[in-house]
Amino acid sequence: MNRKRIVSNIVIAANILAMTNIFPLTAINRQLNSTAVAQTAESNTQLFYIYKGQRVPLTQQQDAVAVEFKPVANTRSGNPLYLQLEQDLKKGGGTRSSGGSQVQVKPLGGNYAVVALPRGSADAIKNQIQNQSYVKASLPVLSRTNNQDTIVLPNEIVVSFQPNMSESERESILNKNNLEIIRPLRFFPNIFIVKSSSVSGTEVLNVANQLNQVRGISSAAPNFLESISNSVDINKEQVQRFNIESTETQPNARTRGNSTTNYFGLQWHLNSAPLQTCLQQEINSFDVLQNCLQQQITKNKQSKSPSKLPRTDLRVTEAWQNSNGGKGVVVAVIDSLIQWNHPDLRNSLHKVSVADKCPQEEYGWDFSEPSNSKNPCNIGDADTKLSPLELNILRRKLQDSFKLSDGELIKRYLSSRELARINPQITQKQLADFWRKRIRSQVGGEFHGTLVSGVIAAKPGNSQGISGVAPNAKILPVRVFGLNGSIQRNSVIEAVGYAASRGADVINLSLGGSVPIDVEELAFKQVLQQNPKLVIVASSGNSNQPIVGYPSGYEGVLSVGATNLFGHRAPYSNYGKGLGVVAPGGDLSTSVGWLGGIPTTGGTWMDTFWQGLAFPNFRWSPVIDLRGQYWWMEGTSFSSPAVAGVVALMKGEDSDRKLNREQIINILKSTASYDSLTISDQEKQQYRALVNQGFLSASATEKQLFFGSGLINAEAAIRAVKK
């Protein structure tokens, strides 16, 4: 394969669950009074919520409205309600000026959707929405100021009451503030989801803010439903660059459809020497590359002299020689769709065996859909895999990207708002081809939890496929994301409590919300205090900011940044304050293109995706095989599980669990190094600017700023544990 860059600049699944920009906080202008009743709403109309006693500003999107659907008998099957709504709005659009024909409806999980409102017809469309019998409510759509994320505001508030409060005291506070309990959070007896009986819409923000003043309440925050925006600023240069890259000839693509191929040599994050050596040679096809990699792997096994090239990997192959591969260790993956029947994952599952497990609970739990039930076993369900309803949605999107004409694709998938931002010089074909690639990447990205799980504990059968960092560890799947990256704050809280209660030794969180909340931070603190040996690893974020996002920024959580094949900080990776360590996260923008990504287990390989569709004979996304059983990925979403896998290797050598969380993290940091890491000239300028601005202490070095304690060394960490 030519080293010329061949990768599309479209960022795939890592960005679907990426951390958004760190937000500026402004101090509250007045002291919060301690009183038994929430005060009257402030007169100003600024929208915000309270985090750590400060205002986090929000703006309301005027060209979008969210929809909450009424509950249906079986939310895991049937026809998607968001499609029904889109069809009904277009039918009821009447004249062209009403805008109905331009309506775009995008799902957020199974119970919600966001409707893009055409200009000049917003009120008419809103009225039509309210008239649909299956619509429960219309909800405001917010975003962080100067950000493009999507934050839906249901009439739900997560409230943490002070410990040891009696039920009568709690009821008194709720009654005085016109609040009703929806349900308690599972595993957290002092935390409840409540709703207001007196207000709705953006007024819910005021109620939540004022509850933070109430005596007896530790913290309160809106139960935001969040999703990263799918909008893209499209210019002519971007589309032309995509078209060049996506149409480049891929030699011998036919041979890559074989799912039994061994892809171990591509996994440079485990051992970078084979790929780095082969890239020094003339490689003109994938088969030639694979043969070279196999030769290098064999040579490395036979040779006692180490490679002279810089090692930018985790030294996992050496760690395997001195460990049991994480045997006996349970790693909880809190994420999106975890398709654990993947050939390389189905033998890596932890089977739940606890006294309070629910009926059918065997391999983890799904918290992704909202629930009002007070019965713990009716909050979510026991299957983290793709549901029939979700399959209908994703299969339609994927097949549309292959079947629809240019005009049909643009009409179906681009809203009037998106079309208005497109450079008129871009041709219809350029735009359609761009959007096809984007749709396919989005469908692949819905299996983010599957991709993350493969990095940790994939275990190929008969030495085929790929290997996780800790192939003998077991995965506990815990799902919190619905489709389109939708997630509610209570889901993360309950998922962390669930993982701890089911015996997880390690929790991986390749996620981050744009709106961290106090009640979530309190819940993390509680879980860590109750489980001193539990290690929580989280991605630092993908917004290239000098401070890590949350939950990786919470005290006690290990924040992981990302590096690339050449030992540079990945250009998207957050750094600075709160960063613990770094690990390979992949970089698809380097000169080696897709080979710079992290190979892992995908979800589009299932036959049901391809029924009735001619099988593609070209690379349609950053897939390794042509069905997408394996994908190349980038993001701190993949550096974090790599470190979670190293922690599993360490705990596998600590069978008596003598080491606590602090000791494990100290070993990781003390054995990490900067030996193969490089700081760019631009980063040196950033460092000096941050020091001059007083944001960073001059005692911190450049490499500490961008790499924390350094690149993880699994081999050295294992040796330290054994001592």
The DSSP result for 96-133, as a single string, is GGG-GGG-EEEEETTTEEEEEPPTT-HHHHHHHHHT-T
Using the 3D structure, point to which of 423, 441, 459 is the last residue of a domain.
441
| 593-626: b (≥16 Cβ within 10 Å) or e | bbbbbbbbbbbbbbeebbeeeeebeebbbbbbbb
Tell me the C-alpha distance between 330 and 349, whole Å: 9
Residue 120's pLDDT is 79
Does residue 234 lie in a domain region?
no
Does residue 262 lie in a domain region?
no
Residue 17's pLDDT is 36
Does residue 150 lie in a domain region?
yes
Q: Using alpha carbons, select from 353, 357, 444, 356 the residue that is nearest to residue 397.
A: 444
The parent domain of residue 168 ranges over 36-227
Tell me the C-alpha distance between 506 and 484, whole Å: 26
Backbone angles phi, psi at 598, to 5 degrees: -100, 115
17, 113, 133 from 105: Cα distances, Å:
20, 7, 17
Count the domains in the chain.
Answer: 2
The secondary structure element, H or E, covering residue 136 is strand 135-139
- Long-range own/partner contacts, residues 401-406 (CB < 8 A, 24 or more apart): 401/435, 401/436, 401/439, 401/440, 401/443, 401/620, 402/436, 402/613, 402/614, 402/616, 402/620, 403/613, 405/432, 406/431, 406/432, 406/433
Using the 3D structure, point to which of 227, 259, 294 is the last residue of a domain.
227
261, 320, 343, 465 from 462: Cα distances, Å:
11, 18, 11, 9
Residue 155's pLDDT is 95
DSSP per-residue string spanning 391-420: HHHHHHHHHHHHHS-HHHHHHHH--HHHHH
Structure tokens at 130: 């309210």
Does residue 345 lie in a domain region?
no
Using the 3D structure, point to which of 227, 253, 281 is the last residue of a domain.
227
The single-letter code of the amino acid at 592 is: V
Task: Note if the bond before 80 is cis, omega within 30 degrees.
Answer: no
Q: Are 205 and 49 in contact (CB under 8 A)?
A: yes
Does residue 659 lie in a domain region?
no
Please report the sign of the dihedral spanned by the C-alpha atoms of residue 253, residue 257, residue 258, residue 259. Answer: positive
Q: Using alpha carbons, select from 705, 647, 614 the residue that is nearest to residue 398.
A: 614
Tell me the C-alpha distance between 228 and 15, whole Å: 8
Tell me the C-alpha distance between 511 and 156, whole Å: 22
Q: Using alpha carbons, select from 186, 185, 267, 250 the residue that is nearest to residue 221.
A: 185
DSSP per-residue string spanning 186-231: TTEEEEEEEEESS--TTHHHHHHHHHTTBTTEEEEEE--EEE----
Does residue 311 lie in a domain region?
no
Residue 32's pLDDT is 27
The residues with which 581 forms a beta bridge, in sequence order, are 560
Question: DSSP alpha helices (H): ranges in 542-660?
Answer: 607-610, 636-652
Structure tokens at 332: 């909880």
Does residue 423 lie in a domain region?
yes
Residue 228's pLDDT is 61
Please report the sign of the dihedral spanned by the C-alpha atoms of residue 269, residue 271, residue 273, residue 274. Answer: negative
Does residue 366 lie in a domain region?
no
Q: Using alpha carbons, select from 236, 199, 205, 232 the residue that is nearest to residue 221.
A: 205
Residue 95's pLDDT is 40
Block mean pLDDT (10 aa), the chain, length 723: 32 34 27 37 67 91 92 62 89 53 81 88 90 94 78 95 93 96 94 95 96 95 79 42 40 37 90 94 88 90 77 97 97 97 96 94 94 88 92 93 95 81 88 94 96 97 86 98 91 97 98 81 96 98 91 95 98 95 96 94 94 86 92 97 98 96 98 97 95 90 97 98 93
The secondary structure element, H or E, covering residue 663 is helix 661-671
